[in-house]
Amino acid sequence: MGILVVGSVALDSVETPFGKADNVLGGSATYFSTAASYFTDVSLVAVIGEDFPDEHINFLKEKGVDTNGLQKIAGKTFRWQGRYEYDLNEAHTIATHLNVFKKFKPHIPAVYTKSPYVFLANIDPEIQLNVLEQVKKPKFVACDTMNFWIEGKPDALKGLLSKVDLFVLNEGEAREFAKEPNLVKAAKKILAYGPKTVIIKRGEYGALMFNGGSIFSAPAYPLESVFDPTGAGDSFAGGLIGYLANIDNTNESNIRQAIIFGSVMASFNVEDFSLNRMRTLTLKEIYDRYRKFKQLTHFEDIS
């Protein structure tokens, strides 16, 4: 089944202890779409400026992403400039230039309004709600957010959560949103806002899924060379929702597998700057790494 994703497409400038990349392809919806494209059809709704290079659109098209919902308007593309220290878990924002993103009012093309799977990447929760009003009874809706909206628009976010099936957010964001240092208690409070499933991303420590009374702990893949963590969370979401849409079944067993596919996509993404690793990544490599996750976590039962 197909996925509609609404979010940002950006040009990033990133510096890490291992190098730097200027004006490279970025944005939450870009990372999500590319990761999800390995599993299913993806339709992307986002805004770009007149300066956005055609080669990036061609890259997305080559990945099979439907870019007809990409609106080009007057002005410059959204730009983010950031830096990571050796502790790659935390991004230090140097500059954010919203540019055309300030005027982003997503219009969902009629052909996309029947998308069975919807992912609302990290944008203003009021815009996320507006997108949901435009789509017709999707089977499964997932969303992301960030501390900026948790602090600035908590009520809109809670309104949104009453309408989504799955909510992904970072560990620190979960604690802040629930005003609760204990992560299990925080997840319970967030589940009470409506989503059936909450997935808490923990960077290099993996992810925790809370689904009703059940908890699943997934590790991150231990990598020897992490070059650029930008987009890891969105690649995770892309693998996760991409896999679920592909098998079109969101029971817990499938969500657990989907989390591993999300972790696989995130682990590849951080191996190079921007989306460069995705330029050569094959489905075989993805399946091989899934099997390595199985080895990584395996231990025998006791009788």
Question: Which residues here bind a second copy, judged by CB under 8 A?
Answer: 17, 86-87, 181-185, 202, 204-206, 208, 214-219, 222-226, 253, 256-257, 259-260, 287, 290-291, 294-302
Minimum distance of a second copy from residue 232's CB (angstroms): 15
Minimum distance of a second copy from residue 244's CB (angstroms): 14
Minimum distance of a second copy from residue 71's CB (angstroms): 37
Nearer to a second copy, 193 or 290 (CB): 290
Look at the alpha carbons of 123, 129, 132, 137 in this order and tell me if their dihedral is positive or negative: positive
Q: How far is CA 201 from the centre of its chain?
A: 10
What is the phi/psi pair of residue 106, to 5°?
Answer: -60, 125
Minimum distance of a second copy from residue 198's CB (angstroms): 12
Nearer to a second copy, 150 or 160 (CB): 150
Q: Are strands 197-201 and 117-120 parallel, antiparallel or unpaired?
A: unpaired
Both tokens assigned to 223: 């990598």
Minimum distance of a second copy from residue 152's CB (angstroms): 23
Q: Which residues of 288-299 are buried (b: 16+ CB within 10 A; e: fewer)?
A: ebbeebeeeeee
Nearer to a second copy, 141 or 218 (CB): 218
For residue 223, which amino acid is it? L
In what helix (H) or strand (E) does residue 197 lie, and over which residues does it extend? strand 197-201
CB 244 within 8 A of CB 207: no
Q: Rounded CA gap, 149 and 162, in Å?
A: 16
Minimum distance of a second copy from residue 116's CB (angstroms): 23
Nearer to a second copy, 52 or 221 (CB): 221
Minimum distance of a second copy from residue 279's CB (angstroms): 24
Nearer to a second copy, 133 or 300 (CB): 300
Q: Are strands 117-120 and 91-97 parallel, antiparallel or unpaired?
A: unpaired
Nearer to a second copy, 111 or 184 (CB): 184
Nearer to a second copy, 66 or 173 (CB): 173
CB 258 within 8 A of CB 209: no
- Nearest in space to 270 (alpha carbons), one of 212, 220, 217: 220
Nearer to a second copy, 16 or 30 (CB): 16
CB 293 within 8 A of CB 263: yes
CB 243 within 8 A of CB 250: no
CB 128 within 8 A of CB 160: yes
Minimum distance of a second copy from residue 180's CB (angstroms): 10
In what helix (H) or strand (E) does residue 67 lie, and over which residues does it extend? strand 66-72
